[in-house]
Chain A
Amino acid sequence: MVLLLALISGPGGSSTALSYGFRHSILRPRVIPFVVVGVVAWALVELGRTQRQTVRSAVMGRLEGVRRRTGGVIPRNRLTRSALPIAALVVAVAIPPFLNGYWQTVLVQEMGIFTLLALGLNVVVGFAGLLDLGYIAFFAVGSYTTAYFTGRLPVLPPFTLNPFWILPIAILAALIAGVVLGAPTLRLRGDYLAIVTLGFGEIVFSFARNKTDVTNGDSGAFNIPHFSIHTAGIHYTWGGKQLPYYWVLLVFVVLIMFLFRRLENSRVGRAWTAIREDEVAAAATGVPTVRYKLLAFAIGASTSGFAGVLYAANVGFITDTNFVLQQSILVLVLVIFGGMGSMWGVLVGAAFLEWLPEKLRGSVPPSDRFIYFGLLIILVMIFRPQGMIPSRRRALEIRQAEAGIGEADALGLPKEVQ
């Protein structure tokens, strides 16, 4: 199994040296980390079942004790609750200017964009409990809208705009795409919805790839201009530097988190939780379920479209391969890894998982990078299925599911009316 993994991930063979791939995958020392990792993972899963329970409950008990004690010392008021976010914001403002160009690029194009995507998907998956496997399609809508209105596609727009002014158009376009997909399909539940969204993602991808007279196919759209403002006496161009984009991203991530937090703690968030927990009971309690699911879909889609504009303007080049199924799954992984339904979890999880492969570059063979990435995710899912920083509601649902009570998540089958 481990050898097979090493072989699959190893270098390919060639016609002149038939055993090249084999020799370099398995006979080189490269195989050692694989074997070690495999054995450790197996041992953890197979042997540690009881120990794992003890360790987990001991740690949880300890944490609970600490919380109870500090709960009395540190009053849970507005000040202490906002201390951590403010500290995080200070770090987010203070550190990036001192990073080199490479890490600033990673910060914007990987961590920033994907954090935005994950925050949007979190509304759909985490809040409303709808499994969306075609999420990247809305990102594509945003990107291609940008390419269209900057005149970089074979079909020319009636007027060209700077990407900055395309933001509202793209948000609207993605929102409409979300509603168009959602309106007929959100009556479906669980697995069925997932399959439909998967199909939608593939349609958008196939369109981008094959409708070459509209999208340029796999040659993509290039030379998409950077953001610039020339209005009301302000003249500013973002240019090729990453830092200005980072500030835009930071402002919007903070704003989005603020707005989503308000939604979460309002009747909208309650309605989403109710739908996620028990759709039949939610409807019987007066929640218009389809409308609220559509709302979640539209909010997620517009966030994704927004990220698409930022990406297109920043990188300046988009092609169909940016919008493959794997990207949808990656965003979903970021959400689950961080903690479904928890915005801080999603933020930290997305930033960390996007940072990790870049950090591994240079320290492990390039082709192995995503194996460590995968391993980390497997370990987290085994030992902390609720994610790095779980939301209170979600963590509880997972504990209940383990105990066999109630529906666990978007994948759970609906309970029938009895």
Chain B
Amino acid sequence: MTAPAAPAERPALDDAVIRVDDVTLRFGGVTSLSEVSLVAPRGEVMAVIGPNGAGKTSLFNCLTGVYVPQEGTISLVRPDGSTARLNGRKPYSVTRLGVGRTFQNIRLFNALTAVENVKVGADARGKAGPVSVMLGLPRMRREEHAATEKALELLSFVGLSGRHDALASALSYGEQRRLEIARALATGPQVLLLDEPAAGTNPAEKNDLARLITRINAELGTSVLLIEHDMKLVMSVASYVVVLNFGRVIAAGAPEQIQRDPAVIEAYLGTTQDDEGTHGDAADD
């Protein structure tokens, strides 16, 4: 037995925040995700790991509406237990339902200041239309004020309190990473998707980041889904790990359990050079 029976490891439905059921995503003849099923537990930090090209970012893009999988369903489970289907929705609509994300390569609005970047996220919760903006209606002013307040609060939460008037492009790399997280948090997510947040950061920044992720989870009560290559970071923050390889879930469970899992070790160390063989083993067992 090289892989544990994944379904048995899944948390029960009532404490899930995102459910992915049998999702298959193809690009022409290439299958990027193949019958992926997983459950992200509510109020926890879950990590999605796997070698390059395993389909981690494809999974994130399916979760956020950027890609539409050909098969399967993805649903967001609200705290009251009701579910909302995510696949087939436009990205902005997925975000407004409560799924915030960051990008592997930082994608900020560089010509806007830090606080304006975060306010774009906070605006997702506002309702004022162009007419009330042009007329300067009180409701619009209240919303604008509330957005500024929320943005400043989040900037200080991620540790950028003195930098709110700096242009996004003027921030350091680590600061930009944190600004992107603040922007995603401003949309009021139930679950925050972080795509390799530690990529390109130095060890000190990695420690700060680990602390920030833990605080987001503990203080804001936001569930976190994390793609990360840095195993030390994954092991220090995640309470649950899912391993993808060749577009399939090959293991899922607690971090310690995953570290010992033969299928995972094989996927990472590549005991079998033959791709087909590795693929078959992981899938069949």
Enumerate chain A interface residues (CB-CB to B < 8 A): 259, 262-263, 266-268, 270-271, 273-274, 277-278, 280-289, 295, 299, 392-394, 396-397, 400, 405-406, 415, 417-418
Contact = CB atoms under 8 A, between A and B. Distances in A.
B119 to A, nearest CB: 6
A260 to B, nearest CB: 8
Given A273-B111, A397-B110, A406-B110, A266 B140 contact: yes
Interface residues of B, number: 42
B107 interface: yes
Nearest to A266: B133
Given A277-B110, A396-B110, A405-B169, A286 B130 contact: no
A262 B136 contact: yes
Contacts, number: 118
Q: Which 10 pairs show the lowest CB-CB distances between chains A and B?
A: A286-B124, A281-B107, A393-B111, A283-B91, A286-B95, A267-B123, A266-B133, A277-B109, A259-B134, A396-B111
Interface of B: 57, 61, 64-66, 90-93, 95-96, 101, 103-105, 107-112, 116, 119-121, 123-124, 126, 128, 130, 133-134, 136, 140, 143-144, 147, 167, 169, 183-184, 187
A285 B112 CA distance: 14
A270 to B, nearest CB: 5
Contact of A396 (B66, B126, B144, B167): B167
A270 B110 contact: no
A186 to B, nearest CB: 13
Nearest to B118: A285
Contacts of A271: 120, 123
Dominant secondary structure at the A interface: helix
B91 A284 contact: yes
Contacts of B187: 285-286
Contacts of A288: 90, 92-93
B107 A266 contact: no
Nearest to A288: B92
A130 B104 CA distance: 26
A106 B103 CA distance: 52
A263 B140 CA distance: 11
Indicate the member of B109, B111, B144, B167 with the most A CB atoms within 10 Å.
B111
Given A286-B124, A288-B92, A295 B64 contact: no
A300 B109 CA distance: 24
A273 B167 CA distance: 13
Given A266-B144, A274-B109, 13 more contacts: A259-B134, A263-B133, A266-B128, A266-B133, A267-B123, A270-B119, A270-B120, A280-B91, A283-B90, A284-B101, A286-B187, A396-B167, A397-B111
